[in-house]
Every structure is written in C-alpha cells, then in structure tokens.
C-alpha cells in the first residue's frame, strides 16, 4: 500500500499551515529577537516601529495575562524575555501587522540598547564555569575500576560531534483564530499538539478546554517540532486573545534557522579497556551536552545518550555520565535519535582508537563484543530477541563482506590519488519514550451510517506515513476496503492529552489504540450480523466488505450490518486507550526496563576519498535491518533511506557554526550544506532480516523512524579508514562532521 498522501503531495494539493484559507481580517506576526547572545536590555524604543501604517500592536512580556513560562521539563524559559538576553535570536517582542512585509519594515525600526555580557558557546566552557541545566546523570554497571586493573589495553580519548539543523521543508508556523467566548483554534505545524494546547493555556491564563489545536500534517519535523513549534503558536494566541482577530505566523527560513535549537553538539571523553582477546571489559565516558540557554528537552535527550552509550555491545563494566551544559546558544532540542547518535559516536570512536593503537581492524573488536541474548544493558534491562550478531553475520554473508574488503585492499594497492575505506556499523535502539508515563495513546473511531469510517488518533503525520499505517490497521481489523477509511486531522478536541509524535513509537502506541477500538467495534457488529444470519457471533467474521460465517461468504455486506446496527441502536463509535505493558524505570537507581523492545541492524559502508582534494564519495551502504514483520516495506525502506542520508549528513558535511559571540554563521543554505542528490551514496541496498517480530510492535512491525539514522555513523569511519590507507602517520581524530577540509588535513598531517 502506498502512502495515502502520495497523490495529493505530487499534485501539490496537500495542505500545510501556509496553504490554509485565511479569514479576511487576518493579521500577520513576526518576532523581534535578540541581536546578541548574552546581555542586559537597557532600553527598547518601539515608537517608530509602532507608528508605521499597518502595524497593529507590538506584544511584549507585559501583555501576558497568564504565566510567562514555556518550559516543558524545567520551567526555565520565557516566551518573551524581560531584561536579560540568553541567546542570539531569543524572542523579545512580537510584531502584529496587516502584512508580513509591514511587520518586517517595523522590525528594522525597533531601537534596542544592550549591555553585552560574555557569551558561553561551548559545553567545555560551560563546565569550567559550572553552568549547568540540572544535576548530572550517571549509569553504572559492574565495577570499572576493578575491570581496568585487569585490562591488557586501556585507551583514552576525546570526541566532538556537532549539532545538526533539522531543515524540515516546512518552516515553523501556525494560524490562530478567535472563536466565540474567548476560545481559540490554533492550526499548528507541531509534533506535540497537546504541548501547544497546554502551554498556550498557561501563558494566556485560560483553561485548556478553551484552546483547540489542530494539525493537518507537517512538512517534516525530525524532532524540531516536538517542543519548538510551541512558542510561535503561543505568541499568535496571545495576539488573538488581545486583538480578537486571526493571526498567522509562519517563520521565514532565516528566522527559523536563527531562532530555533538544533541537535545538541557533544564534547565527550572516553576510557576503554580490553583484554588480549579483544573483549571490552570496561568502558567509561563523560558526555558534555551543549544544551543551549534553556532546558527544553535536554534532560531527556541526555538520558537517551546514556541508554545508547554502549550501542550494540555487551560491556560488563560501565560508568557513563552526562552533563547538560548551559550555554548562550538557542536551546538545543530533539533530533531523530534523541541523543542516542551522540552516545553511539563515542563508543564507536573508542573502539576505532583502540583498534588503531592495538593494531587490529576495528571490526574485529566490534564483532568480538556484539550483544547476545540475556546480556544486561548498563541500565539493567535484559536483552531479549537480540539480533545484533544475526544482522552482523547476515550482512557479512549476504553482502560478501570479505569480497568487498578484498576489492578495497586491491584498489588501495593500485591507486595513490584515490583511496577507499570500508566500515561496519551495527545499531541497537530502544523503542519507547524513556519517560514511562508518556507511553500512552488513544484512538477515536467512527463508523458512519453509510459504512465509511473516520479514524482520529494522537499521531501526527510528518512524512513518516503514520497515517497510512493507521489506515492499514483499521481496514484490516474491520475487514473493509482501504478506501472506506479516512484519517482525520490530529485534533486535541477529538484525542486529548497526547504524547508528542516522537520516540519512533507513534505507530506502535496509536496503532495499538486503533486496533483495540476496531476490535471492540467488530465484536459489537458480530452480534448484529449473527442476529441477521441466525448464527452465533463467534462464527462471524468480517472480510472483503462482507460477512463470513465459518469462513463462508454470506449474502450480507458490511453496509447491511451497519444499517442494521443503526436500527438496533448499536454504538458505531469507539474510543480506545493503550499503554505499553511491562516497561518501567527507577531514576533513583538508574535501573529498570525502559524499552518495549530494541531495533537492530548492521550497515556496511564503502567510500572513496580523493587524496588530492580531500573530497569523498560514499560508494555504497548495504544494510540488514530488523523491521520485525514490516507492515509496509515500501514505507519502512523509505524511512531507512531518509534516516541514513540524514545520519551521513550529520557525520560528514552538515557543519553548524557559531562565532565566539554566539552568532549563527551557518545561517542560510549557502553556508550550511545538507546532502543532495549528488552526495548521497551511489548505491543503497536495504534488506530486511527475517525475524518473528515483536508483540509490542504494531502488527509485529517494529518502529523504524529513528534507528537507521545511526547507520550514518559508518560513513565517518569508512572515510577514516581511507585516510589511514593514504597516510600512515594519521592519528585518528573523532571530530564530526568529517568535512573535506578535515579529511585533507588528515591526509597530510
């Protein structure tokens, strides 16, 4: 089954926030933001800006009737700042005008006087100055001190991984419309409609029921709209509350790039201990997370770094610590992988450095330590249905790893200007929100009297095709043609108190709720059909738009049963609630069973480096991925491809750059390079691993949104191997992205 949005996407008919038909009296918003990263506001003069024809009002913190607080996990972030500036791009005021052009003109006329203060831009500086978001977190397993005492090799090192811009095609935006009695309806490009509703109610000082949030679909989110779609919607809503007119606010690309947070840069140190037979017996790491100026989701992201710090390996003695460092950058936020990729880059770097020093190939160490059934993760969960070795071996076998490596050695022996490198990247990713209470979802299913069906869930469609999966669950369970099922917008009045669409768990959580609702409807309809056919409900089932009795087709259609159910006054609506069983986590002990299951996979990456220029191409990425039993392989392979390219971009070319004053230099697509059609791997092969699937995955089809991003880490080490093949004096460094400039320096150091 194709993505149900594909036709309207291709025809340009799909609706996004900016496509909404606006009311005639609509006004337009624009943020006036801080032009320094740290300082005290001495004076602001809005008079000239306000005097322009068409400027309706400029809103500041003084106009907030509720609480000036948008922090989610920690209440440490103002909607509009008062006197202090904490990052370049921090919202100070909100200009509302009759057009965007007028608002832009007005923005240039605001005069601000600031006493500048020194800015912290790196996590290391923050740590030195004791500037943190919250207390550090540490996971412990076994006894690393004792284990290091018995190691044959101990290797220490440091790593850096840069941030990453989400670059969703649709920028942040919303349209807020006043309804009657002070109610406001907000259409938002958000992954978290409930967060938008909750924070809007808090800032406006009204109950949540006065705020309705509707989401049609997103032109991409990638985590960037889990928390950071909220402030824009709240600003528009404050304006609506005062002006009683609709306000549209869609950020232009420059404003979006400057004002929003990104993937967290990490500076980390590691110590890894191995025995002669290459068993990793001890691992310690300290992760410095550059959180930016407010908590946002940083504490949860930091936690996931610890969960994935040992990737696909079993290490019996582990001590990992993460510090969320408060800096003067825009608050960094969720990004596909949610801190996991940053953790995995460190263990892969540690293994690469150990291999270099010991003088073995990295993959020998990787393979010797792959996770096995009943191994313990550092957070206490026992690994079951483990596919780490299976995906590794299947990849090596099916893709003829030995042949690939042989060809690369041959190529390198025969060429001086070009060198090739290969790497293997196993991944293990935990599925569930790490915060157990968030693992819940609901679905509301209506069967209309003509037999057509409307499905509402808490899931937000953002290109990952979750709506298609929800539709598949509904039509299969109801036994009707897919064209009879419609996926409704995501709306807080139909499905309330939702968790954001995130953690790759949306299809599992919402899909299970859809399944439950449809099963309940079918059990009611079975009674109706049994009465019509003088049989027992247990003998009835629904298939191909018809009723079957003991698997023999009856003359009664789906529509007949629905019509009879109306006459019998049987409820044709069902609301179901699902929560993930089994999972739990005790933060006081840092132990538990936080994940419903894990997703596994292995990627083999081959690259060619031009040793004159430092430029490189990714020749191929070949992946064995654990989809469980995929319910839609086309969609799932699309997710692997997209995530892989995003991961390669993060590891190789996407270079976020702030200057010492905290100003974003990579503030446009001319200075921030993302993968394009020329830089994607020449070949991508993705093959599903044959497995039983997992019962906690929807229809045994495992979550797929985030895990494959981490295959991209393989590109870093493939390039590194090519550099090593050219320059025997190269000392491996772990400083991502591995841009052509860094490659060139590595080739000739």
Scanning 196-204, 432-440, 684-692, 738-746 for contacts with ligand HPA by CB under 6 A, the matching segment is 432-440
31 binds ligand HPA per the rule CB under 6 A: no
CB under 8 Å to 723, separation ≥6 — which residues?
A: 419, 421, 609, 730, 743, 746, 747
Count of residues near ligand MOS by CB under 6 A? 10
* Alpha-helix residue ranges (DSSP H) falling in 215-267: 230-243, 253-259
Task: Report residue 446 CA to chain centroid gap.
Answer: 30
Scanning 169-177, 251-259, 431-439, 608-616 for contacts with ligand HPA by CB under 6 A, the matching segment is 431-439
Scanning 257-265, 369-377, 427-435, 562-570 for contacts with ligand HPA by CB under 6 A, the matching segment is 427-435
Judged by beta carbon distances under 5 to 8 A according to partner kind, the member of ligand MTE, ligand MOS, ligand HPA, none in contact with residue 300 is ligand HPA
Query: How far apart are alpha carbons 74 and 331 in whole angstroms?
Result: 12
171 binds ligand MTE per the rule CB under 6 A: no
Residue 226 vs 363, nearer CB to ligand MOS? 226
Scanning 329-337, 402-410, 447-455, 741-749 for contacts with ligand MOS by CB under 6 A, the matching segment is 329-337
Helix/strand/coil for 640: helix
* Candidate list 291, 434, 465, 580; residue touching ligand HPA; CB under 6 A: 434
Q: What is the DSSP letter of 628?
A: B
Strands lying side by side in the sheet with 552-557:
540-543, 546-549, 552-557
Count of residues near ligand HPA by CB under 6 A? 12
Query: How far apart are alpha carbons 602 and 705 in whole angstroms?
Result: 16
DSSP codes, 83-122: SEE-STT-EEEEEEESSHHHHHHHHHT-EEEEEE-PPP-S
Residues 215-234 within binding reach of ligand HPA (CB under 6 A): 226
Query: What's the min distance (Å) between Cβ of 226 and ligand MOS?
Result: 5
Q: Helix/strand/coil (H, E, C) string of 348-401?
A: HHHHHHHHHHHCCCHHHHHHHCECCCCCECCCCCECCCCCHHHHHHHHHHHCCH
Residue 246 vs 299, nearer CB to ligand HPA? 299
Query: What's the min distance (Å) between Cβ of 673 and ligand MTE?
Result: 20
Scanning 147-155, 260-268, 499-507, 544-552 for contacts with ligand MTE by CB under 6 A, the matching segment is 499-507
* Candidate list 167, 503, 547, 736; residue touching ligand HPA; CB under 6 A: 503
Cα atoms found within 13 Å of the Cα of residue 406, Cβ hemisphere only: 6
Kindly state the helix (H) or strand (E) to which residue 627 belongs, with its residue range: none
DSSP codes, 292-306: ESS-TTHHHHHHHHH
What tokens appear for 639 in the block? 């997710």
Query: How far apart are alpha carbons 187 and 533 in whole angstroms?
Result: 47
What tokens appear for 577 in the block? 């609630």
223 binds ligand MOS per the rule CB under 6 A: yes
Query: How far apart are alpha carbons 701 and 540 in whole angstroms?
Result: 27
* Candidate list 87, 335, 338, 600; residue touching ligand HPA; CB under 6 A: 338
How many other CB atoms sit within 10 Å of the CB of residue 676?
10
704 binds ligand MOS per the rule CB under 6 A: no
Strands lying side by side in the sheet with 91-97:
55-59, 91-97, 27-33, 247-250, 173-178, 184-188, 211-215, 490-491
Residues 484-503 within binding reach of ligand MOS (CB under 6 A): 502-503
Task: Report residue 533 CA to chain centroid gap.
Answer: 50
502 binds ligand HPA per the rule CB under 6 A: yes
Closest CA to 342 of 61, 712, 631: 712
Scanning 216-224, 228-236, 298-306, 694-702 for contacts with ligand MTE by CB under 6 A, the matching segment is 216-224
Residue 229 vs 611, nearer CB to ligand HPA? 229
The answer to whether the peptide bond before residue 737 is cis (omega within 30 degrees of 0) is: yes
- Phi, psi (degrees; rounded to nearest 5) at 23: -70, 155
DSSP codes, 482-533: GGGEEEPPEETTTS-SPPPS-TT-HHHHHHHHHHHHHHHHHHHHHHHHHHHT
Scanning 210-218, 284-292, 335-343, 694-702 for contacts with ligand MOS by CB under 6 A, the matching segment is 335-343
* Candidate list 98, 275, 435, 452; residue touching ligand HPA; CB under 6 A: 435
Judged by beta carbon distances under 5 to 8 A according to partner kind, the member of ligand MTE, ligand HPA, ligand MOS, none in contact with residue 69 is none
Beta bridge partners of 212: 185
* Candidate list 378, 499, 505, 608; residue touching ligand MTE; CB under 6 A: 505
221 binds ligand MTE per the rule CB under 6 A: yes
Query: What's the min distance (Å) between Cβ of 706 and ligand HPA?
Result: 8
Judged by beta carbon distances under 5 to 8 A according to partner kind, the member of ligand MOS, ligand HPA, ligand MTE, none in contact with residue 433 is ligand HPA
Beta bridge partners of 394: none
Residues 225-264 within binding reach of ligand MOS (CB under 6 A): 226
* Candidate list 81, 464, 666, 667; residue touching ligand MTE; CB under 6 A: 464
* Candidate list 338, 377, 616, 627; residue touching ligand MOS; CB under 6 A: 338
Asked whether 216 and 152 are in contact (CB, 8 A), the reply is no
**Active site includes 706?**
yes
What tokens appear for 4 in the block? 């149900």
The contact pattern for ligand MTE, residues 642-671, with x = CB under 6 A and - = no contact, is x-----------------------------
459 binds ligand HPA per the rule CB under 6 A: no
Catalytic residue among 539, 706, 731, 749: 706
Judged by beta carbon distances under 5 to 8 A according to partner kind, the member of ligand MTE, ligand MOS, ligand HPA, none in contact with residue 435 is ligand HPA
Binding site for ligand HPA (CB under 6 A): 226, 297, 300, 304, 334, 338, 433-435, 438, 502-503
Binding site for ligand MOS (CB under 6 A): 191, 223, 226, 334-336, 338, 502-503, 706
Q: Write out the catalytic residue numbers.
A: 706
Binding site for ligand MTE (CB under 6 A): 220-223, 336, 462-464, 466, 501-507, 639, 642, 703, 705-706
């Amino acid at each position: 089954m194709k993505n149900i949005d594909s036709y309207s996407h291709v025809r340009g008919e799909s609706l996004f926030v900016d496509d909404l038909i606006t009311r005639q009296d609509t006004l337009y918003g624009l943020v006036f933001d801080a032009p320094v990263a740290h300082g005290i506001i001495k004076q602001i003069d809005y008079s000239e800006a306000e005097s322009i024809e068409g400027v309706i009002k400029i809103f500041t913190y003084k106009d907030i009737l509720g609480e000036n607080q948008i922090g989610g996990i920690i209440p440490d972030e103002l909607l509009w700042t008062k006197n202090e500036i904490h990052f370049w791009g921090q919202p100070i005021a909100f200009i509302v005008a009759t057009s965007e052009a007028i608002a832009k003109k007005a923005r240039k006329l605001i005069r601000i006087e600031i006493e500048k203060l020194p800015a912290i831009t790196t996590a290391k500086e923050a740590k030195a100055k004791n500037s943190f978001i919250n207390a550090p977190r540490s996971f412990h397993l076994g006894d690393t001190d004792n284990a290091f005492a018995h190691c044959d090799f101990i290797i220490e090192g440091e790593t850096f991984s840069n941030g990453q811009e989400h670059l969703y095609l649709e920028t942040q935006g919303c349209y807020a419309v006043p309804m009657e009695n002070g109610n406001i309806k907000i259409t938002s490009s958000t992954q978290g409609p409930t967060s938008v509703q909750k924070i809007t109610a808090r800032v406006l000082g009204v109950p949540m029921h006065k705020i309705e949030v509707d989401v049609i679909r997103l032109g991409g989110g990638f985590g960037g709209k889990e928390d950071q779609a909220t402030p824009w919607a709240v600003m528009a809503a404050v304006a609506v509350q005062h002006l009683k007119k609709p306000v549209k606010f869609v950020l232009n690309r420059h404003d979006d790039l400057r004002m929003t947070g990104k993937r967290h840069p990490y500076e980390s140190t590691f110590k890894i201990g191995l025995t002669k037979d290459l068993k990793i017996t001890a691992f310690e790491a300290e992760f410095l997370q550059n959180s930016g100026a407010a908590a946002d989701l940083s504490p949860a992201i930091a936690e996931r770094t610890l969960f994935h710090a040992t990737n696909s390996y079993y290490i019996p003695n582990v001590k990992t610590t993460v510090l969320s460092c408060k800096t003067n950058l825009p608050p960094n936020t969720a990004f596909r992988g949610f801190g996991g990729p940053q953790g995995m880059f460190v263990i892969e770097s540690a293994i690469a450095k150990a291999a270099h020093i010991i003088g073995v190939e990295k993959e020998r160490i990787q393979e010797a330590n792959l996770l096995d059934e009943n191994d313990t993760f550092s957070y206490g969960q026992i690994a079951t249905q483990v596919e780490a070795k299976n995906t590794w071996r299947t990849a090596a076998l099916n893709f003829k790893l030995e042949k690939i490596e042989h060809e690369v050695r041959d190529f390198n022996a025969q060429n001086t200007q070009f060198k090739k490198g290969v790497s293997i990247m196993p991944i293990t990713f935990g599925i569930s929100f790490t915060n157990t209470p968030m693992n819940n979802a609901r679905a509301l299913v209506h069967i209309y009297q003509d037999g057509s069906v409307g499905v509402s869930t808490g899931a937000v469609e953002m290109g990952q095709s979750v709506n298609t999966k929800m539709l598949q669950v509904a039509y299969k369970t109801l036994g009707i043609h897919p064209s009879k099922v419609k996926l409704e917008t995501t709306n807080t009045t139909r499905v309330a108190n939702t968790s954001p669409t995130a953690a790759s768990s949306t299809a599992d959580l919402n899909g299970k709720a859809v399944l439950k609702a449809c099963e309940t409807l079918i059990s009611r309809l079975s009674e109706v059909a049994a009465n019509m056919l003088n049989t027992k409900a247990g003998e009835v089932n629904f298939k191909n738009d018809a009723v079957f009795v003991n698997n023999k087709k009856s003359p009664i259609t789906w529509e007949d049963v629905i019509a009879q159910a109306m006459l019998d006054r049987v409820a044709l609506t069902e609301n179901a609630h699902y929560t993930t069983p089994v999972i739990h986590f005790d933060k006081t002990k840092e132990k538990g069973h936080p994940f419903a299951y894990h997703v596994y996979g292995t990627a083999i990456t081959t690259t060619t480096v031009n040793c004159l220029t430092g430029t490189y191409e990714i020749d191929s990425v070949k992946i064995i991925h654990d989809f469980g039993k995929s319910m839609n392989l086309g969609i799932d392979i699309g997710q692997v491809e997209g995530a892989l390219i995003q991961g390669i971009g993060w590891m190789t070319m996407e270079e976020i750059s702030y200057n010492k004053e905290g100003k974003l230099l990579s503030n446009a697509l001319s200075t921030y390079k993302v993968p394009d059609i020329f830089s994607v791997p020449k070949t991508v092969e993705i093959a599903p691993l044959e497995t039983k699937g997992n019962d906690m995955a929807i229809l045994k089809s495992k979550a797929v949104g985030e895990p494959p991003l981490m295959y991209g880490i393989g590109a870093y080490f493939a390039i590194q191997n090519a550099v090593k093949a050219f320059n025997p004096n190269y000392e491996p460094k772990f400083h991502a992205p591995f841009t052509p400039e860094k490659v060139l320096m590595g080739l000739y150091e």
